[in-house]
Amino acid sequence: MASSLLSDEKNGRKSLHTLHMERQEQAERSVLISCQSSTNEKKFLKYLSKHGEINKYFFYESYGVYAVVEFANQESVTSLLEGVAIPGGIHESTVPFKSRLLSLRNLGSVDSSNQLSGLQCQPQTTIPINELIKTLSREQSIDKQISSLTEAYQLTEENSRLRFLICSLLKDIATAYFPECTIKPFGSSVNGFGKLGCDLDMLLDLDSITGRNVKLPKSGLSLEYQMKRANSERAVTQSILSVIGECVDQFGPGCVGVQKILNARCPLVRFAHQPSGFQCDLTANNRVAMKSTELLYLYGELDPRVRSLVFTVRCWARAHGVTSSIPGAWITNFSLTVMVLFFLQKRSPPIIPTLDHLRDLAGPADKSVIEGNDCTFVSDFNKIQLQSNTETLEQLLGEFFEFYATFPFSRMSINIRKGKEQNKPEVAPLHIQNPFETSLNVSKNVNASQLDRFVALVQESAWLLQQSETSTPRGGGAGGEGAPTPWGLASLLLPSQVAGIKSRKKRRREPASERIKGLLESLKNKNQLKKS
């Protein structure tokens, strides 16, 4: 373990709070500009540099080419915006809401050499699964495959900046009503487990509004704000989200398909932010979710195997339709992550500590009680002593599948607070205790058939990893026409032969190699024998 905060920062291990502060501040100094693919990079930079030094910039594609430009100083943004024109036109009228989302116009002489400028665009989405399977098949060990998958899927530096920039642009809308508010990303955008293309969960944070802690003097004169009252916190959240949602819909450039889902357990406004390509969920008064984000982030930072295993399991689950982008009776990524954490707590020796242990290590500053729920846990990494478990990722992946292939789901609940399964407190096919709101089941939505599919798939994958045919490299490029034969993790991502895949939508896939097909056939026969 690192011995000081300084060395933690050197190791790139920052608290989520520090990360938020840094990224938010960068975002404030940034603008988002729609460009043409023929934009001349040099001229573009020269033009913008007139307003001050540029710290960082990058281009990406999403319904056109965009540039994120971060200036060294806030004043540069102010100076830049002073010279920006409001679009005029005979046919269109515009809402004159000014934001840092701009369009680059290039009028006058067209420089033909510009057409070939070939801007380097940073990818903001993951490679297709077929490509991933090919890439993984070329690796020489399962450990390398897992690292390679993590590399390919994790959020990039640029994508993370873009997420904070979108929050900052939305904040500019919300501050019209609440000048002291912030909008913070939470969930997989910042918990370390987000994959390129994941949704952007945002929290409108009104806790930083000053005046809440102003104590009225015991005697003499004082003033207090007159404020509108509502029946409940929930009603306040709903009315704020309703108004902000309306503004996003009516005034927010690039925000489309705004839906107000105010009657959900956690009210939210959902919309697509076209210039970034992000599906956005804006919530308010959702402090517990921010706590669970912090907790997941902390677990992910404790040991690199945590993130790698979560990425692998999430990818595996998506490939088999265990998770889905559409809400329903499916297991969610959040549930899956908690399942991986629980499994890692159950290793011998454990790879990560229980939440109760993290609570016991907490100092006075870590104390947090939200709506009666104890959300206290340690924030200082240095206080956490890890045990020396040396299992490889390959071992852990195999053990993960075996663990859940035989887990007594019908009786037991998954509990990362205790690090031990507990008797189910209520009837539900899958019971995962919410780490902070302990009376809630994170996977309440999951029905019996989805759990059955999950179990059939983990059994199949456990079995596949035990076969030497699947678990050893097949020799890169030996599969004809340069396509390597899927093996190891790659073969686990191929369409399954079990778990009722017939009902699933057909996806275009590389055909499974003959060898894998044979293996799966024998598995099917084995299963049929068992059943009869």
Q: Based on CB atoms, which residue is closest to ligand CTP, 333 or 368?
A: 333
Which CB contacts under 8 angstroms, 24+ apart, belong to 440-444? Answer: 441/413, 442/332, 442/334, 442/335, 442/338, 443/331, 443/332, 443/335
124 binds ligand CTP (CB under 6 A): no
Q: Which stretch binds ligand CTP (CB under 6 A): 50-58, 328-336, 339-347, 364-372?
A: 328-336
Please name which of 69, 102, 109 lies closest in space to residue 84, comparing C-alpha atoms: 102
194 binds ligand CTP (CB under 6 A): yes
188 binds ligand CTP (CB under 6 A): yes
List the beta bridge partners of residue 441: 433
Q: Residue 265: CB partners within 8 Å, gap ≥ 6?
A: none
Select from 59, 164, 334, 463 the one that contacts ligand CTP (CB under 6 A): 334
Number of residues that bind Mg ion (CB under 5 A): 4
Q: Residue 240: CB partners within 8 Å, gap ≥ 6?
A: 177, 204, 206, 284
Parallel/antiparallel/unpaired status of strands 30-35 and 65-71: antiparallel
Contact of 68 with 158, CB cutoff 8 Å: yes
| Token pair for 84 | 């920006």
Nearest 5°: the CA angle 294, 285, 342 is 30
Select from 168, 188, 345, 415 the one that contacts Mg ion (CB under 5 A): 188
CA 239 and chain centroid, separation: 27
Residue-by-residue DSSP string for 251-320: H-TTEEEEEEETTSSS-EEEEEETTTTEEEEEEES-HHHHHHHHHHHHHHHH-HHHHHHHHHHHHHHHHT
Residue-by-residue DSSP string for 155-221: PPHHHHHHHHHHHHHHHHHHTTT-TT-EEEEEGGGTSS--BTT--EEEEEE-TT-TTTTPPPPSSS-
Task: Choose from Mg ion, ligand CTP, none: what does 333 bind? Cβ within 5-8 Å by kind.
Answer: ligand CTP
Please name which of 346, 336, 289, 332 lies closest in space to residue 309, comparing C-alpha atoms: 336
289 binds ligand CTP (CB under 6 A): yes
Select from 52, 187, 419, 473 the one that contacts ligand CTP (CB under 6 A): 187
Cβ of 283: how many Cβ atoms within 10 Å?
Answer: 22
Q: Which stretch binds ligand CTP (CB under 6 A): 44-52, 187-195, 256-264, 347-355?
A: 187-195
Q: Which stretch binds ligand CTP (CB under 6 A): 65-73, 188-196, 369-377, 462-470?
A: 188-196
201 binds ligand CTP (CB under 6 A): yes
Task: Choose from Mg ion, ligand CTP, none: what does 442 bind? Cβ within 5-8 Å by kind.
Answer: ligand CTP
292 binds ligand CTP (CB under 6 A): yes
Q: Which stretch binds ligand CTP (CB under 6 A): 151-159, 175-183, 195-203, 381-389?
A: 195-203
Select from 154, 333, 354, 461 the one that contacts ligand CTP (CB under 6 A): 333
Select from 28, 199, 366, 469 the one that contacts Mg ion (CB under 5 A): 199
* Subset of 70-89 contacting ligand CTP (CB under 6 A): none
Select from 238, 332, 379, 459 the one that contacts ligand CTP (CB under 6 A): 332
Q: Which amino acid is at 356?
A: D
Q: Based on CB atoms, which residue is closest to ligand CTP, 246 or 374?
A: 374
Task: Report the residue number whose CB is nearest to Mg ion.
Answer: 187
| Token pair for 352 | 């990560």
Q: Based on CB atoms, which residue is closest to ligand CTP, 293 or 513?
A: 293
* Subset of 148-187 contacting Mg ion (CB under 5 A): 187
Number of residues that bind ligand CTP (CB under 6 A): 16
Q: Which stretch binds ligand CTP (CB under 6 A): 168-176, 255-263, 285-293, 302-310?
A: 285-293
Task: List interacting residues with Mg ion (CB under 5 A).
Answer: 187-188, 199, 201
Task: List interacting residues with ligand CTP (CB under 6 A).
Answer: 186-188, 191, 194, 198-199, 201, 289, 292-293, 332-334, 434, 442
